[in-house]
Each structure stands twice: as structure tokens, then as C-alpha cells.
Chain A
Amino acid sequence: MENVQIWTYVLVGITFSLYIGIAIWSRAGSTKEFYVAGGGVSPLANGMATAADWMSAASFISMAGLISFMGYDGAVYLMGWTGGYVLLALLLAPYLRKFGKFTVPDFIGERYYSKTARIVAVLCALLVSFTYVAGQMRGVGVVFSRFLEVDINTGVIIGMIIVLFYAVLGGMKGITYTQVAQYCVLIFAFMVPAIFISIQMTGNPIPQLGMGSKGTDGIYLLEKLNGLSTELGFAEYTQGSKSMIDVFAITAALMVGTAGLPHVIVRFFTVKRVKDARKSAGLALLFIAILYTTAPAIAVFARTNLINTVSGKAYSAMPIWFSNWEKTGLLQYNDKNGDGRINYSADAANNELFVDRDIMVLANPEIADLPPWVIALVAAGGLAAALSTAAGLLLVISSSVSHDLIKNVFNPKITDKQELLAARLSAVGAVCVAGYFGINPPGFVAAVVALAFGLAAASFFPAIILGIFYKKMNKEGAIAGMIVGISLMVFYMLKFKFGLFDGGKDAVAGLKSQWWFGISPEGFGTVAMLVNFAVSLVFNQFTAGVPEPVQQMVEKIRIPSGAGEATH
């Protein structure tokens, strides 16, 4: 164990100094550098940065674990969090790049020729980003507490200081190049254990193929896992247990939400030309797909390994990792029948093992008995994933405040230098708020993050799509759509996720039968998005037309040439 700790300190130390080094080298000197990295990022670098920005603590730490407990249903995350890039590349990125400003509220404000629209967009951006960033800080805390054996709160504070350093100093420019480094760290850290375990279990070094191969006993791995799962009373692994409509709705909400997330969209403002925006969307998805096609393989390996290692075995014979994770509270054993054996079952009354989904990726290398440096690598990778996403979100929050609110609403006369200072100060404020949520976390990382997508789907996506593809869309419609969409989503979340109107958290499980159309809060973004579209179009029919200059602007953004650089 000592060995693992030394490796962890060394690897985390090296990667952190790398990030700080990059931050010092790429300090931002103007608001343009702070908001969009000067607009000259290459498609390759932007692709990697987008991938790191995108793949959060949820993707790295939680997703494979969630899938390993969800089986087929895990497809909602796999397809939902990748399919959105097709929408982004085809429907949004090229046009928003051509539009060429700094933020999403910039687009909404100008396309809908209205300060109100801009303010509504800023509020939506803040709500989405804060929901999302809370999950990242929690991820940082989990990694620190387990691998460096510091208290979760200390872990969160260390993470805050690092992010503060390079986000405040470098703005988008600093973030972009640290994200490139973080992508390399995280993908390496994710793939190495996956390849090791795939070879161990199936002899095939490619996890994507290993998942569909035969195990050492000559039986297909998935077939064996189906058997093990039903034996313990769980659903068959390849079947899942969610209803089709819910799987459909969650997948759609995550896809559309992806395309509506401000911290992802803003990345496409940083490249030079429209064609670079398209290309970097493709590269980003390619880089993301490497992790996303590996995660379901890890899920299968980890689940099989876990059941084989613990189910029905004596507690006293458990390997060291078992007690290490017990200490964090993320793994709990309660010997209900007092026989000293671990009875793992789908039946809550007999089940004696509680496994937090978040540990499946983190503990996986230990469960598979991999060398200490691999285990340490996973810690560094988890931190890279959480920090890169947190930084991207913090930038959106700070630019929403300094650029959209201070510069464009309250004090248009502010100089570039003052605005840069305001941007830095709002970044500091945002880090502190994010840190607070990290120390007082709102539940499972991935579950909270999933809700941010519903909010983005319900607010931005329709307004941006209509803004580009429907010239006659007016401000009244767009504003009404955004307000109704996001309010409906917030209401549904509060009612069915937090049980706010029915006596709190404990009531949530009982409310399941009342879900509208049988759709869970995670999938409700799809419904709220459709309502947003409908409200926008109906309001549009009964209110004034769109001014001629705005229609001309829409025609202009549809044509890629003459993109120029992002300007005020």
C-alpha cells in the first residue's frame, strides 16, 4: 500500500506541476484571450481540449461504475453523451463560430435583439453550470480522500487552489492548453488498466473486443455475466430494467443537453475558421469515443470481477483493497445473518454488501491486482478529468458575469482592462461557490450532472436551433420558450428528484408511479425541450415580426466564408 501512495504522490505531483507550468506560459493578456483563447486554437488542440472539457469526473469516475450496475440501460449515457456531438457538429458549431462572439448569451442576446433574452440566457447558463460544477468538485474530493488519504474537504480545497491558479491566470487560453495535457493524462490513465484487465480476463488486448470475447473458461463473458446476475436475483446484464420510453427520453435529453451546454459550445468560438469548427467537433468526438467505447467493457469486467471476488466468500478472506475502500464508506459490509460470508443479492433484505458506484473505476485496478503505478495513474486521471471540466465551467460562469452581465447589461463603458479584471474576480467567486458545493455535495456525481443536461436541453437548445434555422423566429417566442422550458424542468426536478412538494427526499421513491408519461427526471429534459419548441413557435405566431437587420444576420451566419475573428 505504501508503494501505491508514493506512486500517487509522484504522478499527481508531476501532472499538477505540468498544469501550473502551462498556466504560467499561457497567461491571458486581453479579454479576447481570456474568453476565447485569442481565437487561434488549432482543430486538433481544440478537439482534445473539448474532449477533456467534456469528459468530467462523471465520465471518468462514475460512468463505467454506473453502467456495471445498469447493464443495457447504461446505453443512455453511452449514446446520450456521444450522440449530442452529431447535433453539435451539424446544427450548432459551424454557425455559432461564424457568428463569432464570446458566449452563448451573446448569441441569444443579439439574435433575439433583446437585453431580456440575454439576461434569461445568462441565468440559464449560470444554473446549468453551477449544477454541473458541483459534481466535479465532489469528484476531486473523492479521489484525494482515497488515494492521498487526506480528508475530502482538504482535497476539495487543494483542487480549488489549482483550478483557481490556471483559470484565473490564463482564462480560456490557459484552460485550453492545460486541457490538452489533461486529455492525454486521462485517456492514458483510463486505457492502461482497461487493457491490462482485458488481457487478464479474455486474452484480447482491445477492451472493445474483449467485452464480446470468451473468458478463460471458454464461455462468452456477457453470457457468463448474465448467468451470474440472474443467480443473484438481478436482471440479465444485457437486458436492463428501465422502460423503453424512459431509455428513449433519457438518451434524447442527454444528447440535446450536450449540444446545449454553454461550456462545450464556447469551445467552438476558439478556432480560426468555420471549417475548423466542424473538424474539431469530429476530432472531439473521436477522442471521446475512445473512452466511451472502453467504459462499457470496463463495466463488464468490473462487474464480473466483483461478483467472482466477493459473492459468497468469507469476509476474513477479503483482499486488502476491500478494507481500504470500507474506510472511505464507499464500500460497506453488514453481516446480517452472522455467518461471516458476504451475501451479495438483489434482494435488499438479504443483501449484505453496499457498493458505491463511484468506486468501480477507482477500485478496479486493485480488484484486478494490477501494479501500484497503474493504480496511481487512475488517481491522476480522475483528477485530470474533474479539474479540466471544472475549469471549463468556471470560465463560462465568469464570462457570463463579466462579459454578459457587467459589460453588456450594466456598464457598457467598461474598458478591456477593467473587464479582464472583472472576469478574473468572477472566476475567483465562482471557484469559492463550486468549492462550497464540493464540501456539501448534493448526492451522486453522475446523477446531479445528468440533471444539468435536462436544464440545458430545456433552455438553450431550442432557442439556438430556431435562431439559426428559422429566420422569422422573434424575441417574444424565444424568451417565452426558454422561461417555460427551464421552469418546467426545474419544477419536475424538485418534485420528482427532491420530493419538495411531497415531504422531502423520502417520498421520492413512492412518486415513481406518478411520473408523467413514465419518464424519469433525468429524461424529462426531452419533454421540457419539446414544450420549449412549442411555446416558442406559438408565441411567435401572435407577436411582432423580426427586424430586417436581424434576418440578414441570420443569412450571414449560414454562410461559412468571412468568419473573421471573434470580436466584441
Chain B
Amino acid sequence: MASKSKSNNARDYWRRNLRYLFVLLGIWFVISFGAGIIFRESLDSIQLGGFPLGFWFAQQGAIYVFVILIFVYVRLMNKLDQKHGFDQD
């Protein structure tokens, strides 16, 4: 049943991919909309050098986290492609 295991393989790959998306987009939301907007005022009571922390997340921190998230995703997916044999062109 080669085709059956092939479609299982694809299904497992897709499920794992969705799990990665769920976690990474969760972090994306918490950092930008959470720390930068919703909880900004309470975070502002903490100082980070000359920055109120909430303000820093909104104008600096969130952007750094976005960059990191994409590169983490790239790494995770490259590994996942390899594991499932989808890394060939």
C-alpha cells in the first residue's frame, strides 16, 4: 500500500506544519497585540534603560521578535521537509 503510506506521510507533515504555525503565530500575537498594545500600559511601569517597556515592545521589541520567528520557522520547516522526504525539488 505504497500510496496509502504516501498520503499518511503527507498528512503527518501537514499536521506538524499546522502545529508549528499555531505556536509561532501565538507568540506573534502575544508579543505584538499583547505586549505592544493590550498590556502596554501596565508594562510601561517597568523601565528598560530609557524606555518604558510597553513602548519598547511596540516600537522596537516586536519587530526583533518577528524576524526571529520567521527564521525559527525556516529552520523547523527545513528539518520537517527532510524528515518527510519533501526536500527534493
Q: For the complex, what is the distance from the CA of A112 to the CA of B72, rounded to whole Å?
A: 32
B44 nearest in chain A by CB position = A238
B59-71 Cβ-contact flags toward A at 8 Å (1 or 0): 1101110110111
Min distance, Cβ A290 to any Cβ of chain B, angstroms: 10
Of the candidates A82, A94, A211, A221, the one whose C-beta lies within 8 Å of that of B66 is: A82
Q: For the complex, what is the distance from the CA of A213 to the CA of B32, rounded to whole Å?
A: 23
Q: For the complex, what is the distance from the CA of A83 to the CA of B78, rounded to whole Å?
A: 22
Min distance, Cβ B82 to any Cβ of chain A, angstroms: 10
A84 nearest in chain B by CB position = B66
Q: Which residues of B contact A286 (CB under 8 A)?
A: 67
- A contact residues, range: 35 or more
Of the candidates B10, B14, B32, B67, the one whose C-beta lies within 8 Å of that of A289 is: B67
Q: Is the CB of A558 within 8 A of B58?
A: no
B50-85 with Cβ < 8 A to chain A: 50-52, 55-56, 58-60, 62-64, 66-67, 69-71, 73-74, 77-78, 81, 85
Interface-facing stretch out of A271-279, A359-367, A406-414: A271-279
**Interface residues of chain A: helix, strand, loop or mixed (majority):** helix
- Any chain B CB within 8 A of the CB of A323? no
- Any chain B CB within 8 A of the CB of A457? no
Min distance, Cβ A555 to any Cβ of chain B, angstroms: 7
How many residue-residue contacts, CB under 8 A, span A and B?
137
**Interface residues of chain B: helix, strand, loop or mixed (majority):** helix
Q: Which residues of A contact B67 (CB under 8 A)?
A: 282, 285-286, 289
Q: Which residues of B contact A94 (CB under 8 A)?
A: 77
- Any chain B CB within 8 A of the CB of A330? no
A275 nearest in chain B by CB position = B78
Of the candidates B37, B63, B74, B78, the one whose C-beta lies within 8 Å of that of A251 is: B37
Min distance, Cβ B80 to any Cβ of chain A, angstroms: 9
Chain B contact residue count (CB 8 A cutoff): 43
A220 nearest in chain B by CB position = B50
Min distance, Cβ B34 to any Cβ of chain A, angstroms: 11
Q: Is the CB of A90 within 8 A of B24?
A: yes
A235-250 Cβ-contact flags toward B at 8 Å (1 or 0): 0001000001001100
- Any chain A CB within 8 A of the CB of B46? no
- Any chain B CB within 8 A of the CB of A456? no
Q: Is the CB of A72 within 8 A of B58?
A: yes
A555 nearest in chain B by CB position = B10
Q: Is the CB of B37 within 8 A of A86?
A: no
- Any chain A CB within 8 A of the CB of B25? yes
Min distance, Cβ A567 to any Cβ of chain B, angstroms: 14
Of the candidates B32, B44, B70, B85, the one whose C-beta lies within 8 Å of that of A285 is: B70
- 5 more contacts with CB within 8 A, not counting A273-B89, A559-B10, are A244-B37, A252-B33, A285-B70, A296-B60, A559-B13
A residues lining the B interface (CB < 8 Å): 67, 72, 74-75, 78-79, 82-83, 85-87, 89-91, 94, 208-209, 211-214, 220-223, 238, 244, 247-248, 251-252, 255, 272-273, 275, 278-279, 281-282, 285-286, 289, 292-293, 296, 555, 558-564
The 9 closest A-B pairs by CB, nearest first: A220-B50, A75-B58, A212-B50, A282-B70, A561-B86, A296-B59, A212-B51, A212-B49, A238-B55
B residues lining the A interface (CB < 8 Å): 10, 13-14, 17, 21, 24-25, 28, 32-33, 36-38, 40, 44, 48-52, 55-56, 58-60, 62-64, 66-67, 69-71, 73-74, 77-78, 81, 85-89
